[in-house]
Amino acid sequence: MLKILSHSQLSDLKNKRNLDKDGFPSVWLGIDLMMFGDLVAMLTIMGEANLRQVASYYKCSGEELVSWMKCLNFIRNICAHNSNLIDLKVTTKPKIRREWGEYLYYIESTNENQTIRKPSNKLSVIIIIVVELVNQINSKYKWQNIQSSICNLCKNEERAFLLGFSSLDSARKITSLVKNNR
């Protein structure tokens, strides 16, 4: 935090009333100074009871919240460096809820005579996570522009599969499907 403070140009830091006796900012000012990755790191090291309390606000488990936030931080970094999200393969694997299965494309592989089904690690899972979290923050959020962009990307079934959706219909309705499946 001291390193962040030393590089900050935030005018509120110059007001001594916003700092404690050790020179640290108030909690709200401190949060204002942090980057998204810093917040994810905070969640990662947070005690279980506190994490559970934060996660309950989003109606998820602490494990889900941390995995989702790590995944979103990965995506945020991809976007910040102007990389392509369309061909993205998510390397930071988020926890996937069972009820999301009907919207996700599954990849099957055989291992020792057993068929293993895993959801693809594409953009669709990121969209579902964002819809889940935003709906907890603002259930009246208007998804039309985002849904329209998804529809433009998914002109046919094959493109929907490439983005990780189970079907073209799933891609075209994803924001309302997830919202109504609570």
Residues 6+ apart with CB under 8 A from 77: 37
Residue 3 within a domain: no
Which residues form the domain of 124? Answer: 96-182
Contact 174, 125 (CB under 8 A): no
The dihedrals phi and psi of 117, each to the nearest 5 degrees, come to -110, 125
End residue of a domain, out of 72, 89, 106: 89
pLDDT of residue 156: 95
Grade residue 49 by pLDDT with cuts at 50, 70 and 90: very high
Residue 167 has pLDDT above 60, yes or no: yes
Do residues 101 and 174 share a domain? yes
| Residue among 181, 159, 164 at smallest CA distance from 104 | 164
Residue 174 within a domain: yes
Contact 40, 70 (CB under 8 A): yes
Residue 84 within a domain: yes
Angle at 52 between CA 50 and CA 55, to 5 degrees: 110
Contact 54, 24 (CB under 8 A): no
Do residues 181 and 100 share a domain? yes
Do residues 52 and 27 share a domain? yes
pLDDT of residue 82: 78
Do residues 100 and 150 share a domain? yes
pLDDT of residue 73: 93
Q: Which residue has the higher pLDDT, 74 or 7?
A: 74
On average, the pLDDT of the chain sits at 87
Residue 129 has pLDDT above 90, yes or no: yes
Do residues 116 and 160 share a domain? yes
